[in-house]
Amino acid sequence: MADEEYKNEANKLFQEGKFEKAIDLYDKAIGINPNNAIYYANRAFAHFKLERYGSCIEDAKKSMSIDKTYAKGYYRKGSAEIALGKYKEAMKSFKQVVTLYPQNKEAREKYQMCEKIVKKMAFEEAIEVQEVPVSETINPDDIAVDSSYKGVHLNFPPNIENVKELMKFLKAEQRLHIKYVYQLLLEVKKILSKLDTLVSITVPPDSHFNVCGDVHGQFYDLLNLFELNELPSESNPYLFNGDFVDRGSWSLEVILTLFALKLTYPNHMHLMRGNHETLTMNNIYGFRNEVEAKYNKKVFELFTEVFCYLPLATVINDKVIVVHGGLFGKDGVTLNDIKSVNRVRQPPDEGIFCELLWSDPSPFNGRQPNKRGVGIAFGPDVTHKFLNDNKLELIIRSHEVKEEGYLVEADGRLITVFSAPNYCDQAGNKGAIVKLNSDMKPTFITFAAVPHPNLKPMSYANQFSSFF
């Protein structure tokens, strides 16, 4: 086939949502004709759809270097920079589009929005002072539940029957009274603040332990997960490995349920921080707008504060380590190094904290730049060395969609688990749970997506979402 034929076939696959296959054909087109800016810009868009923002930016740069007047290269670069929260860089990219095509209304809107955000950030930085934590400004006892409220009344701590009542209430798309929302968050903060950045868990003999991956606001799939595998209890403990919120349009219902279960079983319901329990991601991918639409700004600010107390890693039976993203840009990182990370803040753009949330495994040995543009890509040899140096046997991580809901790599020493089936109503993947026995041997439960009310994913994402 000629390069243009490969490109045309790739475009068809792209329209069908088959982005990986489209990339393979764009690769072939580029292999035949490496000097066509369109091929790189198209491949950049496919990488973008797969959330490989780093690869998107690199392809966009290549497109721009071939043809400095090809606006889509700048457009793709700007979109990936927005997705990463790099608004200064995105503003420059969209300015180039506007310069090339002054009549492009959408690009001008994106440029103006980035400019507004950059100015706001600069202003906030200039006047930054040590503010009182929002948790210290709220007293739920001052909030009355009037007789017009016909919803669930939470006890503190709630028992499991109370939580079941809450889940049923939220499933019916009802709103929990704001008094209970505040109280729930404040009580969870008390528990999380007592935990280390790295948590150690012991699973007794003849017992088991469940590890779940990303849920991403897919509340009805979370309810189905509990139907299939039972609710958390002392005999059925869980760890949810971050990314509870964003993208899916019931992120609030997900996190309220998980936090209520944490209060009910504080030693048997474990919650970890993902890259989406961060302010930058929440501002872009919907959680902020969802909370402010359903409650108010102060509730969101309290969530932001509480998320900072979520642990970053868990070691189970001194054999298995669970992290959301992956490993590190250098050898020699120890469990004590992880434990000493100051997690009570927004994550930086590099270093151990960032890599725990953002890194991804690679099939190739060594380390490479991550396709996401954040964290690193680490090979099987890096996995083996980290585990051997720290006298561990297995890494469980999440952070990536997998067709079967999970994937085993690195000679069985690394597992990715993802628990949001048919991610964003379009990926077609299964969800999964990892079940560990007391010897830490894994088995897997997979499940399909279930119907949900007629509200699309990303419904609460900011105005950039239409561009994505």
The CATH number of the domain holding residue 113 is 1.25.40.10
**Contact assessment for residue 182 and residue 143, using Cβ atoms and an 8 Å cutoff:** yes
User: What would the pLDDT profile of 68-86 be if each residue is shown by its tens digit?
Assistant: 999 999 999 999 999 998 9
- Give mean pLDDT, residues 336-357: 97
Residue 457 CA from chain centroid, whole number: 14
132 in any annotated domain:
no
Distance CA 20, CA 43 (A): 10
320 in any annotated domain:
yes
- Same domain flag for 242 and 165: yes
Residue-level pLDDT at 103: 87
- Same domain flag for 204 and 58: no
- Same domain flag for 77 and 145: no
Distance CA 103, CA 84 (A): 27
Distance CA 405, CA 223 (A): 17
430 in any annotated domain:
yes
Indicate if the pLDDT at residue 163 is higher than 50.
Answer: yes
47 in any annotated domain:
yes
Residue 157 preceded by cis peptide, ω within 30: yes
User: What would the pLDDT profile of 173-224 be if each residue is shown by its tens digit?
Assistant: 999 999 999 999 999 999 999 999 999 999 999 999 999 999 999 999 999 9
User: What would the pLDDT profile of 380-426 be if each residue is shown by its tens digit?
Assistant: 999 999 999 999 999 999 999 999 999 999 999 999 999 999 999 98
Distance CA 110, CA 113 (A): 5
- Same domain flag for 308 and 210: yes
131 in any annotated domain:
no
Place of tokens 């790295």: 198
Quick one: which of 393, 401, 400 has its CA closest to 370?
400
The DSSP line for 352-399 is HHHHHHH-EE-SSSSEEE-TTSSSEEE-HHHHHHHHHHTT--EEEE--
Residue-level pLDDT at 465: 41
CA distances 251 to 81, 243, 282, 291, Å, are 24, 10, 10, 9
Count of domains observed in the chain: 2
- Same domain flag for 413 and 462: yes
- Same domain flag for 141 and 79: no
Indicate if the pLDDT at residue 467 is higher than 80.
Answer: no
Last residue of a domain, one of 126, 161, 194: 126
Share of the chain above pLDDT 70, in %: 98
Distance CA 217, CA 123 (A): 32
Indicate if the pLDDT at residue 466 is higher than 60.
Answer: no
Indicate if the pLDDT at residue 127 is higher than 80.
Answer: no
Distance CA 279, CA 283 (A): 6
- Same domain flag for 191 and 326: yes
**Structure token digits, residue 120:** 């706001």
**Catalytic residue check, 276:** yes
At residue 468 the predicted structure's pLDDT band, cuts being 50, 70 and 90, is very low
pTM of the complete model: 0.92
At residue 120 the predicted structure's pLDDT band, cuts being 50, 70 and 90, is confident
Distance CA 431, CA 467 (A): 28
Quick one: which of 180, 190, 177, 176 has its CA closest to 136?
190
458 in any annotated domain:
yes
Quick one: which of 35, 51, 39 has its CA closest to 4?
39
297 in any annotated domain:
yes
Quick one: which of 331, 308, 304 has its CA closest to 192?
308
340 in any annotated domain:
yes
- Give mean pLDDT, residues 2-9: 94
Indicate if the pLDDT at residue 1 is higher than 90.
Answer: no
- Same domain flag for 223 and 271: yes
Share of the chain above pLDDT 90, in %: 90
Report the chain's mean pLDDT, rounded to a whole number.
Answer: 95
Question: Between vectors from CA 287 to CA 361 and to CA 444, what angle results, nearest 5°?
Answer: 40
- Same domain flag for 60 and 145: no
Place of tokens 């083996």: 384
> Which residues, listed in sequence order, are joined to residue 315 by a DSSP beta bridge?
200, 321
Residue 110 is which amino acid? K
Q: Which of 276, 324, 399, 452 is catalytic?
A: 276
Indicate if the pLDDT at residue 226 is higher than 80.
Answer: yes
Residue-level pLDDT at 461: 87
Last residue of a domain, one of 83, 100, 126: 126
> Which domain, by its residues, includes 29?
3-126
User: What would the pLDDT profile of 25-68 be if each residue is shown by its tens digit?
Assistant: 999 999 999 999 999 999 999 999 998 999 999 999 999 999 99
CATH code of the domain containing 159: 3.60.21.10
Last residue of a domain, one of 126, 153, 172: 126
Indicate if the pLDDT at residue 115 is higher than 60.
Answer: yes
The DSSP line for 11-60 is HHHHHTT-HHHHHHHHHHHHHH-TT-HHHHHHHHHHHHHTT-HHHHHHHH
- Same domain flag for 120 and 153: no
**Contact assessment for residue 335 and residue 351, using Cβ atoms and an 8 Å cutoff:** no
Indicate if the pLDDT at residue 259 is higher than 90.
Answer: yes
CB neighbour list of residue 402: distance below 8 Å, 6 or more residues apart: 416, 417, 418, 429, 432
- Same domain flag for 228 and 80: no
- Same domain flag for 90 and 200: no
Helix or strand or coil: residue 83? helix
**Contact assessment for residue 301 and residue 189, using Cβ atoms and an 8 Å cutoff:** no
